[in-house]
Structure 1
């Protein structure tokens, strides 16, 4: 029938009495006017809302579960439609929302995806199965509350990853956690692409159960539930290892968990890391150029020139978060490097680690003025679009050597103070400059923060280069 005919006799059919059917194939009809429904009632339970959870069907006056043998998106699609819960998001197996009780009513369900109810789909006879409740099928529909969330961040698209299972939110262990796993989380939450996949509780330690460990996604899955992982709740982790994600939808260009402080440019300074909502330093025990290489690469600062310790860029404040850092130099994320547990150390801030990266070696922000030629004169630096001078406190030949090298003026022959080439005007930008002499630019040297000095222009520093 087309469905528009006024009587059954107007539909196409085999000639009267001709069929290849047995009596077990009698057709039936249930009309709305009969007040009888042929659809077995269904529900989703133990999820965060009525549109996500373990699938249960009502048969013979009892609620029971569905075995996950051959359970797929087409089956889940029918469940979502029957419950008026929108489109299917995922069809988790393995008792994703906990094990049910009572009978396992259905097994080997095979829906086309167009059926109006789950009980219309092909399946084994009611109650016939070879399953246990550890194989209970589940569904997540678009109309459900999220079963996945990112927390402890100002934006919903960055933070510690938490999953909802067995009526409780819990975390994911960072063992094997990488950008492929993060990509699936970002996709599932509608947060764009994955920017980073921080481990080591980068967005703070969670509480409650650690639900997942050994997560291994291909990166193409629509939901985290489709990835492989250890059984729910099986792990050898603690909350220090909670996994996190930063997605492009957060507006965070890169994970804001690493910075250089106390230097004159963004590419040289004391290394500081953000953990548990607080910036802290790194102890220099074992700190070497391999560690510095990873830091410089991650910050977009080129190659590492040196890895100074002993608080070369001043003593930090707050916690010393990391000690005994050991990078291979090949890591793409500094937090992939080995180190002691967060906050465990035997150091003080006099051992804060630093790095000097190549960064921008332009000489356009440095000049010598009031001298006989371009390679001798009062030192001036460009900062905040204004030229200013340098105080001569601690100014010596090591500092002058860096200036001469940066300007392509040979070696330093003198480092006069006391405004030898006249007093400047405007800002005194730098004070207590302390170069080792090996730096490529003045910005890589240690100094007080920009604009902080206890000097006047009678103390302006100068340089005389061999030229």
Structure 2
């Protein structure tokens, strides 16, 4: 590289003195919105320069500059801007004044202004912006920013460290001294001006919904005793900057300490002490129902679940995350992501027994819901006990679609479960033989899990415990993987999980270990994935297309071969007579985040000569007719002889077509339709008496293929059959209504039957 001639240096020097400063053009400018405005889409505009946050003056500021700032912050555009410190006066420097943007800039750093810190403004002229809540396509979520001190120091992590030795053996840790991690070292926080609001924020970050007072005199006494010990006192005095944060001022509604006013220790050379009170801040947190100590007594203020929860999370891989759903008028529905933010999400998380919100997700990133969209523009202050206490708008006629469904990831306590499981022998970190740490004969030992009874539910729990998302395969024969040398025996057998547990150690299992195969080839294994499909039946189409057909036996030979008729058909005089069939169309949507594919490849598909097609999944759906008491009176099933993208939304390409032995599957967002006139698309009700029934359809009934949400695989309708005609009504997915609503409906139906 040739050196620049002197003339070029003069040009560069002149450019650096021009209004467009060299400093801002050399790096990306960091922005944030702060103040009493609703986060994250409005507030006082602040910029980070020389590791210090400062404000922007409203002189010459217009919508053009606001658009550039909002786009840089991840929003589509600006709605308006605010002058005269509408969102409160900032502190410190006024970094930018007389900002002029063309409007096409990708960053405020590309606009012209007077120069860093050159301003004739006061903080009464701090500018604010209001951005359009719709995020840019590339912007995926909102997370709390890291804590930045006046010199730009970054807080890496927060924890509470037990003061008493007995508390260190219990998970989760509920009480102890607050510590922050800075530059790889844990440092204590001074308790100067420490409030319960501060404790609430810290507890929320650690996964706890609430806090309780601590015994301050007791901890002061422990501290004084420690200071009397010469060695402890010397260590405390010689440890530089042990109190990095010496004052915290939170409102109690913040999802993270980054949103509080935080003052770090004085810089070097200052005479004032870092912590005048001399003692660390101590907090005591209250665990949610799922995280209580098994043998511990309930603590004061412990959160108790209501009889019927009004909010829930669906389709999340981990505990405390999922698509947000609320129960209104007896029916579950979703929340539109317009103005969805960390404060509102934190109210929801605490209501469910978790901590504050760690991340909010937009654009149905954890899958689309079904049914109504109940709420939009939820605006919580953060003090509410329930999400239903927050102001919100009805989502009807708002333009919200299920592609705007909001989701959240809540903070949950560290239960130390992830350190009690590992995978070994796989080709990648996401697969391998499952090895667990259990206590045997008074000692902790690593070992394998017997694959007897090992299925997808158990594999889902294992992947969740590993923090690796969903299970794509539950493997019972792992001869091609080698475990670690320390796992030469089986330490867990007979594992049966419901699928909601946080760890395999929480599942039912044998007392004494008993494995029919022994260790080695038949150890349990898994393959994990970060995304999964989600199949959901179109209930309305089933209701609209149902009818009866008396079909001659002469047209049912192939269907009979595939066991699509009731057993009584075996004893008829073929081909004379007919069967009465309840026929309907089914449309199965994939609303998940991964394509739905058959469990096995083409080499394992089964050829059916009569219908002349391959079955990629032998039993893809169950069709049942039940009494109001749940007894089965007729049944049917459908094999996935042609699992394909029948239709896709506009702009989405079909990927799977089963013609000519093609690939089978259902693409994300697409659906597979089985028309009412296809063989086996029915329930044989020839032997059913007239009456009132429940018609039930279950997709993927044997859980052969992993899904992000199995709770919506069942669809139910009320069915009335008078011997000549059939009516289906009230069709809905199995979890679309609250439990109380379905009980009331059944009681009303029984009452009507008695009156008739």
Q: TM-score, normalised by structure 1?
A: 0.30
Structure showing greater relative contact order (alpha-carbon pairs closer than 8 Å, 6 or more residues apart):
1
TM-score by length of structure 2 reads 0.20
Mark the structure with the bigger radius of gyration.
1
